[in-house]
Amino acid sequence: MRIGFIGLGVMGRPMVDNLIVAGHELSVYRGRTDVEAHVCASGKEVAKRSEVVILMVPDTPDVESALFAPGGVAEGLQAGSLVIDMSSISPTATIGFAQLIERLGCDYLDAPVSGGEVGARGGTLTIMAGGRPEVFERARPIFDVLGKNITLIGGAGAGQTAKVANQIIVGLTIEAVAEGLLFAQRAGADPAVVRQALMGGFASSRILELHGERMVQETFEPGFRIRLHRKDLGLAVQTAAELDLALPNTAATQQLMNAAIADGDGDLDHSALYRTLRRGPA
């Protein structure tokens, strides 16, 4: 396919590499340009050159700008084009974006991902899609290159809803692992040995395995930055307020991430919440 890709960051760049290896023709905009693809000067140019346009940018305003700002994707779309937003943004805003793109005679999917940089490089991302089933099937060959666990959740916005739920669970579990290992260390046990013991019990999880090791080794190079995870929990708290739903532990973990960012750790991996807890109250 002729694929346009906007956002060549930590996640987007390896996703583009995998699409190129799979034989797709890529046009790119925003981010690193040292790729075997046509580098465009605008989102409009990307859309003109592509039958499918993928967005992988940080936040809701970034998606809105990439699509609808002057020189954006919407100005270059041709009837029948497909827009796939793989960013993690507001479910409510996503529904509006989908409606606007569909009025142009084009298709739209929200398809946020989980799996971090490791999953992006390995083509093993979990992809949570929202949109019409026939549009999902149209995008399936692309998703098969980028991920392994690929699910159509429901209509427009449902993929973003699933991603917010994912981020709630991941964030709270990272915080729990950090508390557990910090408790073990302060009580005089070796947290590395405690982690290994817990890996054989009911507390075992991928987060204890991967992020627990980061905490023990204190290696916090970003796979997924605290700053971005804080943004996702903000979406959770905001959407919960719209639903009159209480998410007290999500809100508390968001505040812990606020503290991490205030301490200068916003661009570290989210497992660095261990450092924030260790520092204790300001």
- By annotation, the residues acting in catalysis are 163
Query: Which neighbouring-strand residues pair with 4?
Result: 27, 53
Buried b (16+ CB within 10 A) or exposed e, 15-26: bbbbbbeeebeb
C-alpha span between 113 and 124 (Å, rounded): 10
Does residue 208 contact residue 198 with C-beta atoms inside 8 Å? Answer: yes
52-55/25-31 β-pairing: unpaired
Structure tokens at 161: 């809803």
Among 77, 56, 83, 80, which residue's Cα sits nearest to residue 139?
83
C-alpha span between 130 and 153 (Å, rounded): 6
Query: H-type helices in the chain, by residue range?
Result: 12-21, 43-49, 60-68, 73-76, 91-103, 116-122, 133-146, 158-186, 191-198, 206-217, 226-242, 248-262, 273-279
Structure tokens at 134: 């026939």
Structure tokens at 241: 């307020």
Structure tokens at 75: 């100005």
Kindly state the helix (H) or strand (E) to which residue 114 belongs, with its residue range: strand 113-114
> Dihedral sign, CA of 232, 160, 111, 64?
negative
CA 48 to chain centre: 26
